Amino acid sequence: MRTALLRRWRAVSLRWRVALAFGLVTTALAGLLSVATWQLASSYMLEQRERGATSQAVVDARLVADSLRRGSDDLPTLLVGLTGEPGTTVLLERGGAWTMAGQPVEVEQVPTVLLASAAAGTPSRQRLRISGAPVLAVAVAVTPTGDLFVRLAPLTELDRTLRYVSAVLVAGTALAGLLGVLLGWWTARRALRPLTDLTDAAARMAEGDLRARLPTRHEADLAPLATRFNDTADALAERVQRDARFAGDVSHELRTPLTTMINAGEVLRRRRDELPEAARRAVDLLVADVRRFHRMVEDLLEISRGIQAPDRHDLEPVDLAVVAENVPAALTPGGVLEIERPAPLVSADRRRLDRVLANLCENAGHHGGGVVRLGVRRRDGWAAIEVDDEGPGVPEELRDRVFERFTRGPRTGRDGADTGGTGLGLALVAQHIHGLGGRVWVEDRPGGGARFVVALREVTP
């Protein structure tokens, strides 16, 4: 039980934990102050009320005793006059008989302990409820023979006042707790703002935005953090740009000799029949590897361009239906082209989208037996292109790795030939789509095979 509660508490965000801690501390302090205030206020008011009622009862008892000594016949009138405020009851006990004036009550409701204490010669008082109303009973002996005078003073107004004070204190405690939560939220938000900025900047860099930086701060504790992060980001950006330039330069320099090699290989391939069997096999291998090498160089050059300027491509509204309709040759015999109408529009670079779709179709041909369905539709608020193949599918543990560079799967083309790719096609897909603010993933195709999904934000025409 305790472990589960601790786990739930840790699952709450730090900002809310700070806010709740502020609220609890504020509520506890306000509660302690409210209890202390209640104790002091209620004790003082009750004490004042009891003192006043006792003094009044002693004075009234003297008047009654004086009237009894004189043998006056106006005792009932005197008792009525002693009632004073409404709701007050006065009782006189003489020789076991009770005389009452004011608010009618049952004599049996007066505690015998109170009467016995007063009969001993000491004025006694006690708070009690008679007929559901709070009263203060004060008993005083009026004669040496044990005659008693009892005054029942109402405490209704005092009780109402104490209830009002308690309600105010409870409301104040609740308000203090709420203000504590709000203060904690505001304080945590300001205190954690540098951490939020750091998280956002790190997330942007993880997505490929090498220009993400932390704002300069003047606080002594936060300035070193921002400075070191920005220095690290500058160094990382410089290294990535340097590596990209190196890959681009190397790829560019290799294009000319590769073109020469490809042309020479084509000459040899056209004269293949004039060569011996061993030479023909060597020519086939040479031409296939040179072509694959040429494709790898082109992909590396494309990747280096994307890293150097991820946000410099021109964006325009692109109809995904037009993009999908340009690759019907990629479908296998009997393949299906499904386009939702009206087709969604996205803000993208048409060249990049064409390259993305071409790479996905080539990947399906290399590793999935070809494209059996090419779909364009809306998914969960995104405009999506779906490329289905009829291969063995992609295991869940490899669905993130297939978009990494030089990750290559089994080479199983339509005719069973060795048609493996360079391991850069899906990496290019991920780079282009992330640069456009979209997502790409692979899932199971209903009926078997893999489904590669490219999702971009839809725009209005």
Identify the helix (H) or strand (E) that includes residue 441: strand 439-444
Residue 309 pLDDT more than 50? no
What pTM does this model have?
Answer: 0.50
pLDDT at 54: 87
Q: Which domains does the chain have, with CATH numbers?
A: 13-161 (3.30.450), 234-308 (1.10.287.130), 316-459 (3.30.565.10)
In the numeric block, the tokens 């839809």 are attached to 458
How confident is the model at residue 333, as a pLDDT? 80
Give the model's confidence band at 27: pLDDT under 50 very low, under 70 low, under 90 confident, else very high.
very high
> Alpha-carbon dihedral of residues 375, 380, 382, 386, nearest 10 degrees?
-20
Angle between helices 425-435 and 277-308 (to 10 degrees): 20
Rounded CA-CA distance 173/55 in Å is 37
Q: pLDDT class for 62, splitting at 50, 70, 90?
A: confident
**CA count, 13 A, side-chain hemisphere, 37:** 15
Fill in the amino acid letter for 261: M
Confidence label for 187 from pLDDT (cuts 50, 70 and 90): confident
> Is the distance from CB of 351 to CB of 338 less than 8 angstroms?
no
Which residue has tokens 């060569």? 275
What mean pLDDT do residues 63-74 have?
Answer: 79
Min mean pLDDT across 184-188, 260-264, 355-359 is at 260-264
Q: What is the mean pLDDT of residues 43-65?
A: 87
Angstrom distances, CA of residue 130 to CA of 91, 148, 328, 333: 14, 19, 97, 99
Residue 310 has pLDDT above 70, yes or no: no
Percent of the chain at pLDDT above 70? 85
Tell me which of 67-81, 84-98, 411-425 is least confident. Answer: 411-425
Q: For the residues 384-399, what does the mean pLDDT come to?
A: 89
- With tokens 């996205």, the residue in question is 346
Mean pLDDT over each residue of the chain, to the nearest integer: 81
DSSP 280-323: HHHHHHHHHHHHHHHHHHHHHHHHHHHHH-TT-SPPEEEEHHHH
Tell me: the pLDDT tens digits for 233-251?
888 878 777 766 776 676 6
Query: In this predicted structure, what is the pLDDT of residue 117?
Result: 84
Q: Report pLDDT digits (tens) over 129-164.
A: 888 888 889 898 888 877 888 888 888 888 889 999
Quote the pLDDT of residue 149.
Answer: 87
pLDDT of residue 422: 62
- Please tell me the predicted confidence (pLDDT) of residue 418: 45
pLDDT tens, residue by residue, 392-446: 888 888 888 888 876 665 554 444 444 455 667 788 888 888 878 889 999 999 8
pLDDT score of 412: 45
3-state SS of 152-215 is EEECHHHHHHHHHHHHHHHHHHHHHHHHHHHHHHHHHHHHHHHHHHHHHHHHHHHCCCCCCCCC
Tell me, what's the pLDDT at 35? 92
For residue 312, pLDDT over 60 is answered with: no
Residue 4, pLDDT score? 65
pLDDT of residue 387: 92
Token representation of residue 392: 């063995």
- Which DSSP letter does residue 402 get? G
Q: Tell me what the mean pLDDT of segment 344-367 comes to.
A: 86
